[in-house]
Structure 1
Amino acid sequence: MKKINYYFTISLVIFITFFSFFNMFQIVQLSSTVLTIVIDNLLPSLLPFMILISLCMSLGIVQLFSYLIQYLFLPLFHLSPTMSSIYFLTFFCGYPTNIKIIKEAYLLKHISLSQLQHLLSIGSFASLSFIFVSLKIDHAFLLYVCHILPSIFLALCYRQKQTFQTLKQSFEIINTPKVSFVSALKQSLLSSCYTFIFILGYMLVFQFIGYALSFLIKDPFILSFIQGLLEFSSGALQLSSLDPSPIVYAAICFLLSFGSISVMMQMDNLLEGIPYSWKTYFFARVYHGIFSFILCLILFDSFLF
């Protein structure tokens, strides 16, 4: 994946450089649109979670929550206590915060490489605030249910023997943090800003590509869906502005579950140096997207339209 990511990035840079020379006014407008999306939608919905969860992870507070959530998630999903808490948090925090906290848990040696790989497969969701606030669509709750159910089913199929964490073990981690509060806060702020640089950069890149595709694709639904495959948030927002129908809702649900090429490239950069399997992650995203699409299409077509 590293070589593919490198050559793909080089190709994008060359294309955008030439494209921007001939479309400078449109580039400025697109940049303004992306900044608006980031400031109005992604910044308030992602940044607080990034900082707080990263801080709790560094100080060991997540381990106390792991003790509580393990009694539900360990028998149900066969996840370790730490995996249980991370999986629970991914239902709320959204891309790429989920990837960031999985990485931090691995670097702190709270989870193994195989556990990291499994969490990447099952713990990939769009944020609650993006679905319920930013999209501004009817039946958002049903859309969210269709979005998370395929992941829950995949998590139920996991079979690994795990042991419960004692309350004493939880407090031992909290009482002996690896970093001070000030250092943890500084690290959380810096890593969160670093992550947002990736988000903004890739959103700009794929917005430019999407605009270039608009010269070839005139159908608004097809164009919005393809743009969503490149960068899911802008594509989902454009689809949500179309006339509501089962296929529109199903397409939005697919994008929320698949993630987009932008998210995958952000993930690959965030996990630099970690020998995870990109192929396994990619097929998990395809599975999640397809089954979310089918489930959403059936439910919306049968009960709401």
Structure 2
Amino acid sequence: MLDRGYTVLARFTLSKMKTLVLATLVTLMAISMIALPEDSLEASIRGLKMWWEIVFPSLFPFFVISELLIGFGVVKFLGVLLEPFMRPFFRVPGVGGFAWAMGMATGFPAGAKLTARLRQENQLTKIEAQRLVSFTNSSSPLFIFGAVSVGFFHNPRLGFLLAAAHYLGNFFVGFIMRFYGVKEKKLKKHKEKKALFNISEALSSLHQTRIQNHKPLGKLLGDAVMSSIHTLLMIGGFIILFSVINKLLFHLHFTPAIASLLDYILPILQLPKEFGNSLVAGIFEITLGSQMASEVQSSVLLQQAIIVSFILGFSGFSVHAQVASILATTDIAYKPFFFARVLHGILASIFTVVLWEPLSNYFHIQTTNTIVPVFLQEYDHWWETILVVFSKFGPLLTIISLVFYLFFYIRKMSNNQVS
């Protein structure tokens, strides 16, 4: 009885300490924003510009299409076809292949959104969803090639190395996470039988899903737009918030203090101490961390690529907060995702070292004055053009999408009042 009383007291004390720490941190952040208004505003504008020009235009169409594909049963169709691949390698159903592909194409946090959606549809068990979310979240090709390689390094061909290391690392994270939850209840026999390529069963699943969904096309499209923009507004809020937090931590000398601890670790890995600040910044927000790593003068390109690969793999607490917010609507645990991001950062850095020599020679990554093949020259201009197009027309797409959101929202509210 006495031991139980001590346990309750310890839990109560721990709870109070947690409340005190959180309240103190939030208060310090508020005071810092008041004391540094210009820096806070600059960071907010930077985060808003990134969301406004790149994140929203690149994610919104994919989010809407994904919702429609789920509603029309196409995801169920692909799930049956992909079952023979996804089940043996990753121990997840075939529908996970759709989330994986969309996550790679669109970037964070599309994989988490689709995994949560599939879990809500009961197409995944809790363990399968936790395995799937661990490797379906990755940086998009647009961010790796456009923002990082072109925008920060002014070297589009570096994107081949970063992308290869990033996606290869993600594949191995998925393979390793297949062993997560092995002590849980074994898969049922009827699920094992699905690990065969069966086109007739896939078409049957497609038809049955469409029949079961009684929503008309207009309603389905409206719900897809509402859900997508709601998620993107949340993402934008986190991007702006962590952009401000990162800036304030730097001015409060928190970032340099943590970076000083890395002074003893980085030299062991044969990396310059100057990467400490960029690494700490990248742990909070990938864009600023990648940019700072590209500006370290006392390093070679390979060392910069190693640091950026780790930052891209870990993804930053800004992305972690976005994913945690999405997973909070389900019973999917966050801890496996966190472990997988750390593992992805380590694996991506290792693959960067392994792939450096062959890819550097083939794609002329370090070429400055020597002759570069014509197809690589055209490729350099192509990614630069893509980035310019997004900067010019991205805000317009964002405004149009928000107008549609308001239209569907007002119509939904009107229907609710009538009913």
Give the alignment's TM-score, normalised by structure 2: 0.65
* CA deviation string 1:39-90 (max 9, x = no partner): 2221222222112112212332222233443454445544322122222322
1:255 & 1:5 partners in 2: Cα distance? 28
> Is the contact made by 2:85 and 2:94 (CA closer than 8 Å) also made in structure 1?
no
Q: Give the residue type in structure 2 aligned to 1:181.
A: L
Inter-CA distance 264–5: structure 2 relative to 1 (3 Å threshold): farther
Deviation at 1:174, TM superposition (A): 2.5
- In the other structure, the counterpart of 2:331 is 275
Cα distance per residue 1:189-236 (max 9 Å; x no partner): 222222222222222222222222333339874333222211223322
Q: 2:211 aligns with which of 149, 154, 175?
A: 175
**Hey, what does 2:39 align to over in structure 1?**
26
Distance 1:201 1:276 in 2: 22
Query: Among residues 158, 172, 177, which one is paired with 1:153 in the alignment?
Result: 172
Report % sequence identity.
21
Q: Alignment partner for residue 118 of structure 1, among 131, 142, 155?
A: 131
How far apart are the structure 1 equivalents of 2:26 and 2:222?
Answer: 32
Query: 1:213, 1:223 within 8 Å by CA — same for their partners in 2?
Result: no
Q: 1:282 to 1:97 in 2, by over 3 A?
A: same
Matches within 5 A, 1:144-293: 144-156=163-175, 158=178, 161=192, 163=194, 164=196, 166=201, 167-215=203-251, 216=253, 217=256, 221-240=275-294, 245-293=301-349
Q: Per-residue deviation at 1:10? A: 5.2
**1:268 maps to amino acid:** A
Structure of greater Rg: 2
Aligned AA (1:290) = I
* Alpha-carbon spacing, 1:6–1:123, altered in 2? closer, same or farther (3 Å): farther
CA contact (8 A) 2:102 2:110 kept: no
CA distance in 1 between counterparts of 2:165 and 2:110 reads: 21
Find the aligned partners of 1:20 and 1:208 in 2 and give their Cα distance: 8
User: What SS is found at the alignment partner of 1:214?
Assistant: helix
- Looking at structure 2, the residues matched to 97 and 192 of structure 1 have their Cα atoms a distance apart, in angstroms, of 10
1:64 lines up with 2:77 in the alignment: yes
- Structure 1 residues 296, 196: closer, same or farther in 2, change over 3 A? same
- Alpha carbons of structure 1 residues 88 and 13: separation in structure 2 relative to 1, 3 Å: same
Stretch moving more, 252-261 or 217-226: 217-226
TM-score when scaled to structure 1? 0.86
Distance 1:22-1:108 versus aligned 2 partners, 3 A rule: same
Which is worse superposed, 251-260 or 146-155? Answer: 146-155
* Cα deviation code 1:117-169 (max 9, x no counterpart): 11011212111211122221432122111111122224345376461461212
Q: Once superposed, what is the RMSD of the aligned Cα atoms? A: 2.9
Q: Structure 2 CA distance, aligned partners of 1:24 and 1:200? A: 20
**Structure 1, unaligned stretches of length 5 or more?**
none
- The CA deviation at 1:287 is 0.9
- Tell me which residue corresponds to 1:109: 122
One-letter identity of the residue aligned with 1:118: R
**1 CA distance for matches of 2:241 and 2:293?**
20
Q: Which of residues 140, 143, 153 is equivalent to 2:162?
A: 143
CA distance in 2, matches of 1:300, 1:66: 35
Partners of 2:132 and 2:174 within 8 A in 1: no
Once residues 275 and 183 of structure 1 are traced to their aligned partners in structure 2, the CA distance between those partners, rounded to angstroms, is 27
Deviates more, 1:59-68 or 1:245-254: 59-68
Q: 2: distance between equivalents of 1:200 and 1:227?
A: 19
* C-alpha distance in 1 between matches for 2:72 and 2:167: 29
Superposed structure 1 runs of 4+ greater than 6 Å apart = 3-9
Give the length in aligned residue pairs: 303
